[in-house]
Amino acid sequence: MEEITMRLNDFLFNSGVLGFYRVLENADKTELVQIEGNTIKITKQVLKSFTSDYFNCMIDKYEKDTKWYTITNRKEWIKNLNIEEVEKLKQLKEQYKFIKKSVESASYKAGYEILKSKKVKENPYEYIEQLKDEKEPEKRKEIILKIVEHIETNKRVYCMKDIVYTKINCFWSNVAFLNRNANKNDMEEEYQKVFVEPALQYLASNRKSDITCTQCGNIISKKEASGMSWLNDTGVDFNRKKSGFWNFKEDMFLCPICNLIYSCIPLGFKMIGSNGIFINNNESIKKLKQYNDILIIEENAKEEIFEKVYVKVISHFINQTNQLANEKMEEYEPRNIQVIKRIGEKDKQKYEFNMLCKDKLEILKKTTPYFKNLLGSSLYQEVLTNLIEGRKQYYLIARIFKENRNVEVIKSILLIQLNCMGGINLKEREKRIDEMIEEGKKLKKYFFANGENENKLIAYGHNLQEALNASSIEKFMKFFTLFYGSLKIPMPNCEAIKVLLKEPEYFKLLGYAYLYGLGVRLEKKEEVEKVEK
C-alpha cells in the first residue's frame, strides 16, 4: 500500500484533516497531497519529515500565546533597564517572580530533564539558587538575563511544553509526550514513535484481515489497531470497559493513519487560550479550510474574551458569505453550518455545538442593517447569541429598560426579533411596531405638556413592564385603559392595538415598542410646549 485515501467525516476527524493540511501548508509541502472534493490522498513521502513539520507548525501558530514568548519578549527590556530607578527595580522583581514561577513549574522541569539528556550544560535552577544570596542589583539583573537567555536558546523544548499543556492537552492525552511515563523524554522522538512510525509501516505493508478502521474503513491488523480513549471526551478505553460493545467484543479500531490525523486536531481548531472554535463543513476540504480561515481574525485574543471572539467570528463568517454572494452576482443559497466550541479548562472540558441553519443565516442576512446599529455596543454580542441559540430577545430588552442603558437601540432589537419570528407581511408588522412607538411618544408629549407629575408616568411604565414580564395581555390592557381614562383622553385605536389584542405572539413585541416610545427622551423641550392640550 503506497498511498491511502481519507475522506471527511465527523467534526473531530475533519478538524484533524484540516490540522494535517495546515502542517503541510506551513512546511510548503501541500503539493505532496492530492485533494479532490472531500478526499485527501496521503503517501509515504508526506510523512518522511512529518514530526519536524508538526512541531514547527505548532510553534509558528501558537508561540505568541505561551509563557516562553512572554518571558523572552522582555529580554531587551531587562537588558536596557536602569535599575537605579526604584520603580524600574520593582518592575524587575515582578518580572522575575513570573520567570521563577514558570521555570519551577512541572512542565518546565520536565523540559529541563529533556535538555539534560541532550547534555545541555546551563542549569536555570542553579541561577535561581545564586539569586537567593546575591544582593547587588546589577548582578541580579545579569543572572536573571542568563535564565531568560537559557529559555530563549532552548525554544523548541520550553515553547512546546507550554503548547502541549495549553493547546494539545485540551484535545488528547495519555499518549506520546503526554504519557506520564514519557513526559521527560524527547517530545519529537515520542511523537515519531507513537504516530509517524506506525503510519509509515502501515503504508509500507500489505495485509489481510477481518478488522477495518472505524473511521476510514481500511483493513488493519489487530496489532496495528488502536482505540480512541486517548482523545478527550471521546471513545471507550478497551482495557477498562468492554461492556459498551456487543458480547463484550470491541469493534471500534483506528488505523495508524487516522491516529495520526487525530493528533492534528489542535491545529484544526482556532484556539483562544485553552478554548477552541471550529466550523465544520463536509462539502469539500477546500471549503472546510476557507470557512475556518475566517476564524483567524483575533490572533491576540485572550481566554477571558472567548465568548466575544466566538460571536465575532460567526458575525465575520456571515459577512464573508454575504460578500461571496454579492461577488457572484447570483442568488445566494445559505447552507447549514455547524460551529463547535471546545471548552478546554480543567474540570470543565467539553464540546459545545451550535447549528447555524439556513433559516438563521437568512435572518442574519436580512437583519444586517439592524446589527450595524448595535456595533460598538456590548449588546451586539448578546443579541447575536440569542439569535443563534434560538432565544427570544424580550428578557434582554426588559433588562435594558431596568438598567436604563442603551435604550436607543431597542427598536433595532425589536426588528431583529420580528425577523426571527418570521411569517408573511413583515413590512406590515414593521409598520405596527412604528405605530406603537408613535403612540408611546404621543402620550409622553401630551403628559408633559399638561404638567403632569413625572412619577405617575414612571409608575405607569413599571406596571406595563410587569404585565409584559408576566406575558399578560389582560393586565397590560387594564393598566393601558385606566391610564388613558385617568387623563381623560381617548385610547389609541390604531391597527397595532388590534394586532396586539388578536395575535398573542405579537403582544410582547408591540408592548415593548409602546414602552420604548413612552421612554424616548425629547431632545427639544419646546416641542413639548407646542403640543396642544
Q: What is the pLDDT along the chain (533 residues), one digit of tens a residue?
A: 578 999 999 999 999 999 999 999 999 999 999 999 999 999 999 999 999 999 999 999 999 999 999 999 999 999 888 877 778 888 888 999 999 999 999 999 999 999 999 999 899 999 999 998 888 988 999 999 999 999 999 999 999 999 999 999 999 999 999 999 999 999 999 999 999 999 999 998 877 777 889 899 888 988 888 888 899 988 554 444 444 444 444 557 899 999 999 999 999 998 888 889 899 988 899 989 988 887 765 444 444 456 666 666 666 666 665 665 565 544 445 567 788 989 887 778 899 888 777 788 788 888 888 988 887 777 888 898 888 888 999 999 999 988 887 788 999 999 999 999 988 788 999 999 999 999 999 998 888 888 888 888 888 999 999 999 999 999 999 999 999 999 889 998 899 999 999 999 999 999 999 999 988 443 334 443 443 33
**How far apart are the C-alpha atoms of 43 and 199, rounded to whole Å?**
10
pLDDT of residue 35: 95
pTM over 0.75: yes
**How far apart are the C-alpha atoms of 529 and 445, rounded to whole Å?**
9
- 196, 47 contact by CB (below 8 A): yes
Reading the block at residue 162, the C-alpha cell is: 507550554
- 15, 268 contact by CB (below 8 A): yes
Distance separating the N- and C-terminal Cα atoms of the chain: 92
Dihedral angle at the C-alpha atoms of 95, 101, 104, 110, nearest 10 degrees? Answer: -100
Looking at residue 207, what DSSP letter applies?
A: -
Residues 6+ apart with CB under 8 A from 404: none
**How far apart are the C-alpha atoms of 481 and 504, rounded to whole Å?**
18
pLDDT of residue 245: 42
